Amino acid sequence: NAGVTQTPKFQVLKTGQSMTLQCAQDMNHEYMSWYRQDPGMGLRLIHYSVGAGITDQGEVPNGYNVSRSTTEDFPLRLLSAAPSQTSVYFCASSYFQVRSPLHFGNGTRLTVT
Amino acid sequence: TQLLEQSPQFLSIQEGENLTVYCNSSSVFSSLQWYRQEPGEGPVLLVTVVTGGEVKKLKRLTFQFGDARKDSSLHITAAQPGDTGLYLCAGARGVGGSQGNLIFGKGTKLSVKP
């Protein structure tokens, strides 16, 4: 099983550019989420989805959009990149219940200059 | 607001030593998870504890959930270089609902030198 697949692994953007980070899972998980990880800040939740067609904001949603048209895919869109969005982004999925383990992708390292 | 405090933030020890990592909060959690993250990879679940006072063992790793379900600890016996990584605790704020209710600590970065 591939698990959670994130692309690209690395990306450099200029301020103001837009891009989409891709995330796909093949475990039929209802729940999918995006986190950003910054030094000294831990993992912070950006957006999450509990099923196709349903999304909600996490702790740090500003500057990011998401959609969930299928169970498998949960792309994260940066509308107008800013240096403050330089970070490592992780996609995660799980079964719905809060005690279910999160399965993480291997991350996308984004640099905004 | 940081609801989960992990300590220490950094830990560097020699192979064979024992260590304990702490995860503390003023809030009650319905369950708590521990993850380990290696460089360049995503976190991987080690254990979930759900009952106050619960103790779980995973080979040389011992996890404990506090009686009041506000804190947890991870004890590693005879640490090995393969234990090196970032250890994260994550608490669930409710019994129901999804993983959107999961709160992560900032992590403890462990380095075990041979």
Q: Is the CB of residue A92 less than 8 Å from the CB of residue A105? A: yes
Q: What is the bridge-based pairing of β-strands A103-104 and A108-112?
A: unpaired
DSSP state of B84: -
Task: Evaluate if residue A16 carries a pLDDT over 60.
Answer: yes
B100 phi and psi angles, rounded to 5 deg: -65, -15
- For residues B98 and B58, the model is more confident at B58
| Band (B98; pLDDT cuts 50, 70, 90) | low
Q: Which of A43, A50, A101 sits opposite B98 (nearest CB)?
A: A50
Size of interface A-B (CB pairs under 8 A): 74
Residue A33 and residue B33: Cβ atoms within 8 Å? Answer: no
Q: What stretch of H or E contains B10?
A: strand B10-14
